[in-house]
Chains A and B, each alone.
Chain A
Amino acid sequence: MTRVERRDKEPEPTKEPKQPSGKISRREFLGMTGTGIAGLVIGGVVSREAFPKQVEVPAQPAAAPAAAPAAGEVPAVAEALAGYTLVFDPVQCTGCMKCAVACSEKYGAYFHPEETKNTVNLEYSRIRPMRFQYVDVLNTCHYCELMEWAEGTNEFPCQAVCPEDAILTIPEGEGESGYFGMGYKWIDQDKCLGVDKCWRCAEICEDQFASGISFDPISRKAQVCSRCGGDPECVKVCPEPLALQWVPMGRNGRFYAHTPTEYAELLYRKMYNVRREL
C-alpha cells in the first residue's frame, strides 16, 4: 500500500532556483492579490495582521540583486494613520487576551515604568476582551461623537461631560509617535480629577454608549484608547486572522458603540439563536 507522508516543510530544491525574471510565481501572485485587495479598501497601507501569514519567498541566491520588498512584507517603519478605527469580528476573536497584554505592557511602561518593571497588569490596558459564556466581546473606546443636529454638539460624549476639559483630541502633527496624536483621544493627566472625585466620562459612556473608559490603578486617572496615535499595538499582536482590524472609520464611531452586555446579547441571538438577558 502506498503511504502519503505529511510534509511539514517545503521540499529542498533539487536544482538552482531561477533568477527573478519579471515572471512571478503563483505563491507570490496570491500574496500580492491579497495586498491589492486590502489596498483598495483601506487606501494604500495594509493592516499588518490582517493577512498574518507572511508569504514565503523562495530563498534568493546570494548573487541576486537587492530587489524591492517582496509581496506581503511588513514595511520596516510603521505608518500612523488618521481617521481609522478598530473593528473586531466576534466570531473570529477567541478572547485570548494578547491584545490586552500588549496594550497594558505598552502603557504601563509609559506611565509607570518603575512600578510595572516586574509586573504584568492588564489594568493598564485600554482594550479588554470580556468573556461571556460562549461569546467574547472586545471592549474598547469606539470614538462616538454626538450628533450636532440632534444633540447640540459634535463632541465626544465623555468630552462633553468632562468638567475639566481633560479629554483632549491631539491633532495631526502633535502628540507622541506610537502613543498619541493623529486626531485621537488623550487624557490630560494634570487636569483629570481621577476616579475618586469624578467619573462622569465613564458614567456617561456606560449610561448611553459603551464602556470605553477605565481607570489607572496607580494614578487613578481616566484611561482611554488613544489608538497608539494611529498605529495600534493590539492589531499587530492579534493572532487570529481578521479578528481585529484597523480600518478607516466609515461613520461616526457611535455606530460601533454598544455596551459589552448589549454586544453579548446580540451575539447570543446571532450566533446561537438564543435570547439571554444579562
Chain B
Amino acid sequence: MAELNGMTGKIARVDLTSGTVTVIEPPEELYRKFLGGSALGVYYLLKEGVVNPDVEPLGPKNMLQFMVGPITGAGANARSVTITKSAYNFISIATSGGQAATELKFSGWDGIQIVGKASKPVYIAIVDDVVEIRDAAHVWGKGAEEAEMILKKEVLAETELREAMNRDADLTPEWAALRPAGRKGLGEKRLASVWVIGVGGENQVWYANVMTEGARAHGRYGPGAIMGSKNLKAIVIRGTKGHRLADKARFLELVNAIHASEKNDYFWRSYGTAGIGARSAYVEDAYPIRNWQWCCWSDPKNASMEGPWMDAASFVHKQACPNCLLKCLTTTEVTSSDPLLDGTMTDMPDWEAMGMVGGNLGFFELEGKTPSDPFGGTHIDQAENLAKLQFTTFLHDNYGLDYIEGGTLLALLMELRQRDLISVDDLDGIDLKWGDVHSVDEILKKIIHREGVGDTLANGSWETAKYFADKKGNPDIMKYVVTTHRYGQPAHDVRSPADKNAMEYVTVGRPSEHTGGGGAGFKEGDWAAAIAGQNNKCATDSMVSCSFPGGHFAGKTVDLIKAATGWTDFTEEDLFNVGARQYAMTRLFDIHTQQLTDPKEQWDKLVPNRWFKDPLPNGPHKGAIAYEGNSDKLFNEDLPAYWKTRGWTEDKGIPTQETLKALGIDDVAGDIAKQHL
C-alpha cells in the first residue's frame, strides 16, 4: 500500500479476551470519506455490527475506539476522540485534549479499537509498533490522578532506559567517594501519555470518563464505563515516529499563521471558558441554578463567576494542549476554611463545571437564601462557595465521572428532596441539600462503588428519576429530570432566547451535546445553515481538532488537510460531507440499537419538561420558555423541515437510500435504514 500522509494508515485492534492485537489497514478511500476521528469511528461501529441491538454496551462484543485524525500530531492543537456504544444504549462520541493524542499519532497509529474483555485488570502499553497488554493490579482501585502518574513512568521509549554502565573507576576518585548510594533515578524521562479511568469507570458508572493529565476528559456518554467493563484501566503511549505530512513547509506555515492569530486572542488566553460565567447568568439568563429552577441571580453581586475574580481567588497555572497557544486550562489550589476542601489540587472550574456542579447544586447562595434573594455575604463567602464547586470538580475528575450528567443527577436528587418527593431514607440516610458539599462527597462515594442506592444512581439521572417515579408511584418525578435524549443537559439553557435554541439539542447528533454547532441557523430557522454548522463540528471532530480555536482556523482548514494528506482536490464540500455522513450514521445508530419504531415519540421528544412548563422566574429574560412555548411547531413543522433538508424522511427522520448513496455510505448504512423506513 502506498504510504499515506497525515494519517498512518494503521489501526490497532486489541482483543482483550484472546490477548491478541491485529492491524487494520483502512484503504485511503475510507480516509477521504471520513478523514479519521469520530466519523471513521462511527463507520466502524456500523461495519463491525456494534450497532446491532444484541451487542450489549457493557458486554465483551462492544468496541471502544480511540481515534485521531490527519492533522493530529503537528497540527495547531491536539485532541483524541472515543467512539463506542454508550451504556445508555446510544452513540457515544467524546473528545479530549491532551498530549496522548499526539503520542498516538507519533507512535504510528490512527486509532486503537478494543474488543473483548480481559480476565483480570490490565492496561495497554504502546511504544511505537509494540502494543502490549500488561497487568494493572497495582493501579486497579486507584483514582485517575494517582494511577496516571504511576503508569506514566512505566512506559519509556527504547532509548530511554538501559542497564547501568558507569563504575566508580570511571569517575575521579574524589567524585566516586561522593557518589550517592543506590540509584537516585534512571529512566527519568516522562514523555509517555496516559488515558485512564477512575474508580467510577472500574465499577461501570454509566457516565464514567476516560481521563488524561488529571483534568482532561473524554467527558460524555461514558466511554470510561465501557473501558471498565473490559477490565481495562489505562492506555499508556509513547511514540517516536513523528507525523508524516505531504507538504510539511506549507503545513507548518499554516500552523504558524494560526498561532500568530491565537497569540492575540485575549479571551481564551486569559481565562479560557472561565471567562463567561457571569455573562451567562446576568446577560443571557441561561445559567443552571438549582436544577434549572433559576437561570440568573436577582442580585448581580451574588456570585462573581468571572475569570478575573476566580483568578484572584485561586488560579495557579495555565496548561496548553500540544501546539496550542490558547492554554485554556487553568489549574488551581483550593483554599477554604473547610478542611475537607482546603488544599485540593484541581483545575479551573471551566464553563460546564461552573454551571453543572456549581450553580446547579446551589453552592452559590448562603444558607437560607434562594437565588431570588439578595446575596447578603462578602467576597470571602463567595470564595468559600467557589471552593465547594472546585472540590466537586476534583471529585468528578478523580473518580472519572462526567460532571454534566453527574451535576444533572445530583441536582435532580436535591430538587426531589426540596419538594419532599423522596426522603432521606431513600438516599441511604444522606441528607442531600442545596449547597451541601459534604453530602455530595458522601453520595458520590456510594455511586462510584455502586453501594446501596448508589447502584441505581450510577445508571445516570434518567434511570434514577424512573426508579424513584416507580418506587413512589409518582410519575411527576420525571418532570424534574433535566435531560435531553436521556442524558444531562449541559450548562446552556434553551428557554432564554439569548442562549441555545431548543432545536439545537433536539437535532444534535450526540444526545444533549452543547458544542454541536449551527446555533445561529437554528435561531433563524435556516436549516441549511444549521446543518452546515453541525457538519462542520463533525469534521472538526474527525480531523481531530478543537472547536475553541475554530475562528483562528477559518479559511485554513481545507488547506491544512490538503497539506497534511496531499489530496490536492479536497474541497470544502468534502469536509461538509464528512459531517453529513456522521449525522446519517449516528441517527441510524441510535434508532437501530434501541430498535425504535416511532423515533419522534420515543426519542426526539425526550426533552426536559421544564423547557415548556417552567418559565424563567427572574433575570433579563424573565418569563421566557423554550421555542416561545410552541412545542407543536418544533416537533411537527420545524423538525420535519430540518430532516427534509438533511435528505431524511419527514416522518421518522430516516436517511433515504438516495441520500446514503449520494454520501457513499449505502454499503454500511443502507440495510439498516431500510429496516426503519
**Genuine A/B complex:** yes
The interface of chain A, by Cβ under 8 A from chain B, is 90-91, 94-98, 101, 105, 116-123, 128, 130-137, 139, 146, 150-153, 160-161, 163, 195, 198-200, 202-204, 206-208, 210-211, 214-215, 217, 220, 239-240, 259-261, 264, 268, 271-274, 276, 278
Shortest CB distance B282–A (Å): 15
30 contacts between A and B (CB under 8 A): A94-B320, A96-B321, A98-B259, A98-B323, A105-B252, A117-B248, A118-B248, A119-B244, A120-B242, A123-B157, A128-B191, A130-B189, A134-B316, A134-B319, A134-B347, A136-B317, A150-B174, A151-B178, A153-B172, A160-B175, A161-B171, A195-B159, A206-B184, A207-B166, A208-B179, A214-B159, A271-B316, A272-B331, A272-B343, A273-B333
Shortest CB distance B527–A (Å): 32
Establish whether residues A272 and B316, one from each chain, have CB atoms under 8 Å apart when the complex forms: yes
Shortest CB distance B335–A (Å): 10
* Minimum CB distance partner of B103 in chain A: A122
Establish whether residues A151 and B248, one from each chain, have CB atoms under 8 Å apart when the complex forms: no
* Minimum CB distance partner of B182 in chain A: A207
Q: How many A-B residue pairs have CB under 8 A?
A: 184
Establish whether residues A259 and B149, one from each chain, have CB atoms under 8 Å apart when the complex forms: no
Shortest CB distance A139–B (Å): 8
Chain B residues in 8 Å Cβ range of A206: 184-188
Q: In the A-B complex, list the 4 residue pairs whose CB atoms are closest, starting with the nearest.
A: A121-B242, A152-B172, A133-B214, A152-B174
- List residues 327-350 of chain B with CB under 8 A from any CB of chain A: 327, 331, 333, 343, 345, 347
Shortest CB distance A267–B (Å): 9
Q: Given that A121-B106, A268-B345 are contacting pairs, would A211 and B188 also be in contact in the complex, using a CB cutoff of 8 Å?
A: yes
CA distance A200 to B164 in the complex (A): 8
Besides A134-B215, A198-B165, A210-B188, 18 other A-B contacts (C-beta < 8 A): A96-B322, A118-B246, A121-B242, A123-B240, A130-B189, A130-B190, A133-B148, A139-B189, A153-B175, A203-B164, A206-B184, A206-B186, A206-B187, A214-B160, A261-B188, A261-B190, A273-B343, A276-B149
Contact of A199 among B165, B183, B244 (CB under 8 A): B165
Q: Is B241 an interface residue (CB 8 A)?
A: yes
CA distance A214 to B173 in the complex (A): 27
Contact of B319 among A131, A204, A220 (CB under 8 A): A131
CA distance A118 to B564 in the complex (A): 10
* Minimum CB distance partner of B150 in chain A: A278
Q: Is B162 an interface residue (CB 8 A)?
A: yes
* Minimum CB distance partner of B128 in chain A: A217
Chain B residues in 8 Å Cβ range of A274: 333, 343, 345
Contact of A217 among B159, B191, B333 (CB under 8 A): B159
Contact of B175 among A146, A202, A260 (CB under 8 A): A146
Establish whether residues A120 and B240, one from each chain, have CB atoms under 8 Å apart when the complex forms: no
Chain B residues in 8 Å Cβ range of A116: 242
Shortest CB distance A125–B (Å): 11
Establish whether residues A134 and B345, one from each chain, have CB atoms under 8 Å apart when the complex forms: yes
CA distance A148 to B318 in the complex (A): 41
The interface of chain B, by Cβ under 8 A from chain A, is 5, 73-74, 99, 106, 145, 148-149, 152-153, 157, 159-160, 162, 164-166, 170-175, 178-180, 183-191, 193, 213-215, 240-246, 248, 252, 259, 263, 316-325, 327, 331, 333, 343, 345, 347
Q: Given that A130-B190, A151-B175, A195-B162 are contacting pairs, would A136 and B319 also be in contact in the complex, using a CB cutoff of 8 Å?
A: yes
Establish whether residues A200 and B149, one from each chain, have CB atoms under 8 Å apart when the complex forms: no
Chain A residues in 8 Å Cβ range of B148: 133
Shortest CB distance B372–A (Å): 25
* Minimum CB distance partner of B256 in chain A: A237
Establish whether residues A121 and B174, one from each chain, have CB atoms under 8 Å apart when the complex forms: no
Shortest CB distance A219–B (Å): 11
Contact of B322 among A97, A150, A198 (CB under 8 A): A97
Chain B residues in 8 Å Cβ range of A268: 345
Shortest CB distance B139–A (Å): 15
Shortest CB distance B658–A (Å): 40
Shortest CB distance A57–B (Å): 18
CA distance A151 to B174 in the complex (A): 5
Establish whether residues B165 and A208, one from each chain, have CB atoms under 8 Å apart when the complex forms: no
Chain A residues in 8 Å Cβ range of B324: 96
Establish whether residues A119 and B245, one from each chain, have CB atoms under 8 Å apart when the complex forms: yes
Chain B residues in 8 Å Cβ range of A131: 99, 190, 193, 213, 319
* Most A C-beta atoms less than 10 A away, residue of B157, B241, B319: B319
Q: Given that A94-B319, A134-B215, A271-B317 are contacting pairs, would A261 and B172 also be in contact in the complex, using a CB cutoff of 8 Å?
A: no
Establish whether residues B153 and A91, one from each chain, have CB atoms under 8 Å apart when the complex forms: no
Shortest CB distance A106–B (Å): 12
Establish whether residues A121 and B240, one from each chain, have CB atoms under 8 Å apart when the complex forms: yes
* Minimum CB distance partner of B179 in chain A: A208
Contact of A278 among B99, B145, B153, B213 (CB under 8 A): B153
Establish whether residues A259 and B170, one from each chain, have CB atoms under 8 Å apart when the complex forms: no
Shortest CB distance B655–A (Å): 38
* Minimum CB distance partner of A220 in chain B: B159
* Most A C-beta atoms less than 10 A away, residue of B165, B193, B213, B333: B165
CA distance A240 to B324 in the complex (A): 12
Establish whether residues B175 and A101, one from each chain, have CB atoms under 8 Å apart when the complex forms: no
Chain A residues in 8 Å Cβ range of B170: 161, 163, 200
* Minimum CB distance partner of A214 in chain B: B159
Chain B residues in 8 Å Cβ range of A199: 159, 162, 165
Contact of B190 among A146, A153, A260 (CB under 8 A): A260
Q: Given that A131-B213, A207-B183 are contacting pairs, would A120 and B165 also be in contact in the complex, using a CB cutoff of 8 Å?
A: no
Shortest CB distance B8–A (Å): 11
CA distance A160 to B318 in the complex (A): 39
Shortest CB distance A56–B (Å): 12
Shortest CB distance B242–A (Å): 3
Shortest CB distance A118–B (Å): 5
Shortest CB distance B133–A (Å): 25
CA distance A209 to B63 in the complex (A): 45
Q: Given that A153-B172, A272-B333 are contacting pairs, would A121 and B187 also be in contact in the complex, using a CB cutoff of 8 Å?
A: no
Contact of A118 among B174, B185, B245, B327 (CB under 8 A): B245
Chain A residues in 8 Å Cβ range of B193: 131
Establish whether residues A101 and B317, one from each chain, have CB atoms under 8 Å apart when the complex forms: no
CA distance A137 to B317 in the complex (A): 12
Shortest CB distance A119–B (Å): 4
CA distance A50 to B252 in the complex (A): 23
CA distance A91 to B164 in the complex (A): 34
Shortest CB distance B400–A (Å): 14
* Minimum CB distance partner of A259 in chain B: B188
Establish whether residues A215 and B159, one from each chain, have CB atoms under 8 Å apart when the complex forms: yes
CA distance A186 to B240 in the complex (A): 23
CA distance A264 to B190 in the complex (A): 11
Q: Given that A98-B259, A105-B252, A131-B319 are contacting pairs, would A271 and B333 also be in contact in the complex, using a CB cutoff of 8 Å?
A: yes
Chain A residues in 8 Å Cβ range of B159: 195, 199, 214-215, 217, 220
Q: Given that A119-B243, A239-B325 are contacting pairs, would A211 and B189 also be in contact in the complex, using a CB cutoff of 8 Å?
A: yes
Chain A residues in 8 Å Cβ range of B5: 118
Chain B residues in 8 Å Cβ range of A208: 179-180, 184
Contact of B248 among A94, A95, A120 (CB under 8 A): A120
Chain B residues in 8 Å Cβ range of A121: 106, 240-243
